[in-house]
Each structure stands twice: as structure tokens, then as C-alpha cells.
Amino acid sequence: MAKLNIDPVLTFQDGSRLLVSTKYIGDANFKCELYVSAHHCDENTLELRIVSPYAIEAATCREAQEKAYSHALRLYPNATVDMKKPPYLIWQGPAISLER
């Protein structure tokens, strides 16, 4: 099992976390997506739910993360004081399993 170093942007009262994935998508462009994670202790797994309705793209990694932060502020306006500002650790997003 691979381990991820995920730096939460925000931790909610229920223990779930707001995460930002940042990917280089070529042609000098980056994209970010926002996820909410919930840890399941019984299965030792992480459930991820995407909360950004679209990929947030920009020419630089920092700019993409700043746009993701602005979008997160709009999604969770009551949490602006506790929300971590960029830069964020680079996390590629969830791995897609091709096993059946």
C-alpha cells in the first residue's frame, strides 16, 4: 500500500479534510482539483469525494493553487479563518486502479 503525504487545506469538525491535488498537464499548464476526504478506521482506507465542479487550470503551479484556494473560499465561506493558504504540497490526486 502506498502512502501519500497529503497536506490538508482545512480540517472540518467531523475530522474530514479539504485537499488540493496539483498536476502538471503539459504545455506549461497545471490543474488543481479539490477533494474532501474521510478516513475509515475499520478499513484503514481514505474515501475521496471531488468537490470542485471543474478542473482549475493556470500557467504555473502556484497560480493554479491560488485559484483553488479562492474557489475553496467560495465553497466554504465560514471556514476562511482556518483555511491554509498556498503553497501546498504537490499531490497528484487519487490513483486510479485498473484492477478488477
Percent of the chain past pLDDT 70, that is, above it, reads 84
Domain residue extents for the chain: 10-79
* Spatial distance between the Cα atoms of 32 and 52, rounded to a whole number of angstroms: 9
Average pLDDT of the residues in 74-100: 82
pLDDT at 72: 96
pLDDT, tens digit, for every residue of 35-54?
Answer: 999 866 666 677 899 999 88
Q: What is the CA radius of gyration of the chain?
A: 14
Q: Looking at residue 65, what is its pLDDT? A: 94
Kindly indicate the confidence band of residue 67, based on its pLDDT and cuts at 50, 70 and 90.
very high
